[in-house]
Amino acid sequence: MFIAMEGIDGCGKSVMGKALAEDLNFIYTREPTFTSEEADALNLESKNNIEREIEFAIDRIRHTNNVLRKWDDIICDRYIWTGLAYCSVYNPVAYPFAEALYKHKFFVKPDVYIFIETPIEICFQRKQIQPKEHLKKILSAYEKIRPIVETESKIITVSGVMKIQNCVKEIKDKMQNIFETGL
């Protein structure tokens, strides 16, 4: 099973993803494989719009080949939904290119996306990586792009303000419901 954790910076996806991976005995990995600071710098650099998206896609392809295609049970911190959301905010000119690229069958589609929903104020208090205005735009982008990723993967939404063990339990309960109704 391939699970992708999604949400804005500071929502709790890394903490919850690691806890869920430990609980389920899954491999935990993250995207982009370079640092968040490097990703932010890449988003903010004045590069050719398509070139920027190609750099993210190459990283995702490398990650797909090195991790996602080699293991059975994986939880990935961020994946294609993030790529599309951030592209639509930081690189809207290249968004049609990115959307077409990520529909390619080469990219492994998650069985389940887990979206961690956390108020922007709390996210900003936890991690002051992005200005609040950017967090609002990114959250809005996730919402707009949801129907696209929902066509290929199930989506579970949970609150990022619960205790970790409660969140893991809720995710597992919702996953059980998906299994019972057919993944």
The pLDDT value recorded for residue 149 is 92
Which letter does DSSP use for residue 67 in this model?
I
Domain topology for 2-181: Rossmann fold (3.40.50)
User: Residue 103, SS3?
Assistant: coil
Could you give the dihedral angle defined by the CA atoms of residues 60, 64, 65 and 68, in that order, rounded to the nearest 10 degrees? 160
* Arithmetic mean of pLDDT, 63-88: 87
Which has more confidence, 182 or 156?
156
Q: Give the span between the Cα atoms of 114 and 38, in whole angstroms.
A: 24
∠ CA 95-75-86, rounded to 5°:
20
pLDDT digits (tens, 9 = 90+) for 43-54: 666 566 788 788
The pLDDT value recorded for residue 33 is 66
pLDDT digits (tens, 9 = 90+) for 18-36: 999 999 999 999 886 666 6
Q: Is the pTM of this model over 0.75?
A: yes
Domain ranges of the chain: 2-181
Helix axes 164-181 and 13-24, enclosed angle (nearest 10)? 60
